[in-house]
Amino acid sequence: MPSFLQIDNISKSYGTKILFDHIGFNINEGDKIALVAPNGTGKTSLLRILAGKDKSDSGGKITFLKDIRIAFLEQEYEFDPSLSIGQQLYSDDADVQLRTIRILDELGLSPSQSMGELSGGEIKRVAIAGLLASGAEFLIMDEPTNHLDIDAIEYLENALKRSRCTLFMVSHDRYFLDRVCNTVMEMDRGAIYIYRGDYENFLAKRSERVSNYNAETDRVRNILRRELEWIHATPCARSGKAKYRKQAFEELKERASDAYITSNITMEGLSSGGYLGKQVIDCRDLSFSFGDKKIVSHFSYNFQRYERVGIVGGNGIGKSTFLDLLAYSDSPSVKRGESVRIGYYKQKGGSFSDGDTVLETVPDTRLLEKFLFPHEMWNNRIGRLSGGEKRRLYLLTVLLQNPNLLILDEPTNDLDIVTLNILEEYLLEFKGSLIIVTHDRHFLDRLVDHLFVFCGDGVIKDFIGGYSAYRTFISDLRKEEKARANASAPKAPVREKPAAPRKLSWKEKKEMEQLEADLEALGAEQKELEAILAGGTPDYQKIAQASERYEQIRAQIDAKETRWLELSEI
């Protein structure tokens, strides 16, 4: 594949902290690259530099070898809440506008919906629609799956797999990375490492690199011991020591102290909230609505001690509201056990004072070290942490409450993959009950015993097993339903001898003439609507109406053309 983007000698610092220093790499046409690194190491800064939203501190050079269009999906999508979706997205390019209408429909959105009334997941769908409709050759994406429900993630996954675009993205979704990307780029200790292949290949190759690095560290330590003996030699010998050898000793000393910690993370010493009685949360005929919208309808379930439940469903369907009901409701339909200590991690929780330090916020040093806040970070002010580091610290404030029931609402958002692995290990050893809302399929497969599937209109169904088992079940069920429908469809009569070709009846000729007239009229109206959509009119209500009518016409044309072809073959 030809290279079409070359990056040379770029750097970024945040105050006194160096994120990356004089790095360089190239991107080939057709690459789909996942950038992997811990929170706070500059992933978002690198994306913003490539997208032209920020500049390298060291100057450097970013060279595009082809005249290409770039589309950038940032973590936080900027929008005007007073606009409709159509007003937010429509451009003067008719092709882009038509693609936008189609993608919005596939994502379950209407151009006439108000941006100010959308949920966080629906806003992310709007951002995704704008990105995919742009037709850009180079897509830069910062955590594209954050806030999306699983159906939307799988839609985006399939769209990117089919696309011939070049992709550079940051994502913590391990299934998504494995299915979309053909290259993993690791940013580690200021250096860039490239792994061609999928995410599983990256894990294997990185493990090999770390093992080799640590073996070299052991070799250096052996040399250091010999040099230390020489340094501690008699005073007489010390006076004649070569200056270069003393300098080399200091370099060895620094290198010998640098090794990767590869031992398994254990939660020894981190306790849960003590005894958990038989009664956890007992729901009896629970119902709740927002206006006419049913969130929960006649839901009954008795949560058990040490049970692990995953909750899935579309954006805006009421999953977070359901968690609030479990944690806070004083309704007689929700009874919580007396021994229950709830730790509730919310999507929008974690309000800190920027002037406080990490250690002031979470005084448990064991917990800090387990979740990648080393000693040198304890006195860092909260205001200097990255978004992902703040979310990780908020998670620790929840665990610090010593709960025996954890309720987690999208805990994987904004966390890097290393932190996710640590969190998974913690939760696997957690001695309590667990209720999780998440779109992370890998997370669900590892941690939960069964799923509550939110189906809409207040209906919640229970499925035994993880997410992959659930998707397989749904896929098989749809295949069976399709097979039954085909089997029950009326069969065409079998004739012993080929019937003589028949001619169109008078009624069919009239139908065909009418179809031709209808198609001509619909085609003319379609062209008029395309002119409106491409005309850049400031009347966005008119654009929204034109968009909806365009979709109706397209469906009518498809149906009439199909019938015309059937008649034309007689």
pLDDT, one tens digit per residue, over 349-386 is 778 889 999 999 999 998 898 888 888 889 999 998 88
pLDDT value of position 34:
95
The count of C-alpha atoms lying within 13 angstroms of the C-alpha of 552, restricted to the half-sphere facing its C-beta, is 8
In terms of domains, do 412 and 340 share one?
A: yes
Q: What is the pLDDT of residues 461-479, one digit of tens each?
A: 999 998 899 888 888 887 8
Q: Do the domain assignments include residue 134?
A: yes
Q: Which residue has the tokens 């290949």?
A: 201
Report the distance separating Cα 220 and Cα 223, nearest Å. 5
Please give the tally of structural domains in the chain.
4
In terms of domains, do 135 and 162 share one?
A: yes
Q: Do the domain assignments include residue 199?
A: yes
Q: Do the domain assignments include residue 339?
A: yes
537 has a pLDDT exceeding 60? no
In terms of domains, do 102 and 137 share one?
A: yes
Q: Do the domain assignments include residue 270?
A: no
Whether 250 and 203 have beta carbons less than 8 Å apart is answered as no
501 has a pLDDT exceeding 90? no
CB pairs under 8 A, 24+ apart, for 163-166?
A: 164/30, 165/136, 165/137, 165/138, 165/139, 166/4, 166/5, 166/27, 166/28, 166/29, 166/30, 166/31, 166/32, 166/137, 166/138, 166/139
Q: Do the domain assignments include residue 53?
A: yes
Domain that holds residue 447: 281-474
Greatest mean pLDDT range, 416-420, 428-432, 525-529: 428-432
The pLDDT of 437-456, averaged and rounded, is 93
In terms of domains, do 11 and 131 share one?
A: yes
Which CATH number characterizes residue 24's domain?
A: 3.40.50.300
Q: Do the domain assignments include residue 498?
A: no
**How confident is residue 250, by pLDDT bands cut at 50, 70 and 90?**
low
Q: Do the domain assignments include residue 307?
A: yes
In terms of domains, do 128 and 10 share one?
A: yes
Q: What is the pLDDT of residues 386-395, one digit of tens each?
A: 888 898 999 9
pLDDT value of position 269:
54
Identify the helix (H) or strand (E) that includes residue 63.
Answer: strand 61-64
Q: What is the pLDDT of residues 318-333, one digit of tens each?
A: 999 999 999 999 999 9
* Of residues 64, 84, 112, 203, the one with CA closest to residue 551: 112
Average pLDDT, the chain: 85
The pLDDT of 85-93, averaged and rounded, is 84
Q: Do the domain assignments include residue 492?
A: no
φ/ψ of residue 214, rounded to 5:
-70, -35
pLDDT value of position 263:
43
In terms of domains, do 229 and 245 share one?
A: yes
In terms of domains, do 59 and 159 share one?
A: yes
- Enumerate residues 6+ apart whose C-beta is below 8 A from 357: 378, 379, 380, 381, 382
Q: What is the pLDDT of residues 260-278, one digit of tens each?
A: 654 444 555 555 667 888 8
The pLDDT of 515-531, averaged and rounded, is 83
In terms of domains, do 245 and 294 share one?
A: no
Share of the chain above pLDDT 70, in %: 86
pTM of the model: 0.72
In terms of domains, do 191 and 251 share one?
A: no
Determine which of 257-261, 286-290, 561-565 has the lowest per-residue pLDDT on average.
257-261
In terms of domains, do 214 and 197 share one?
A: no
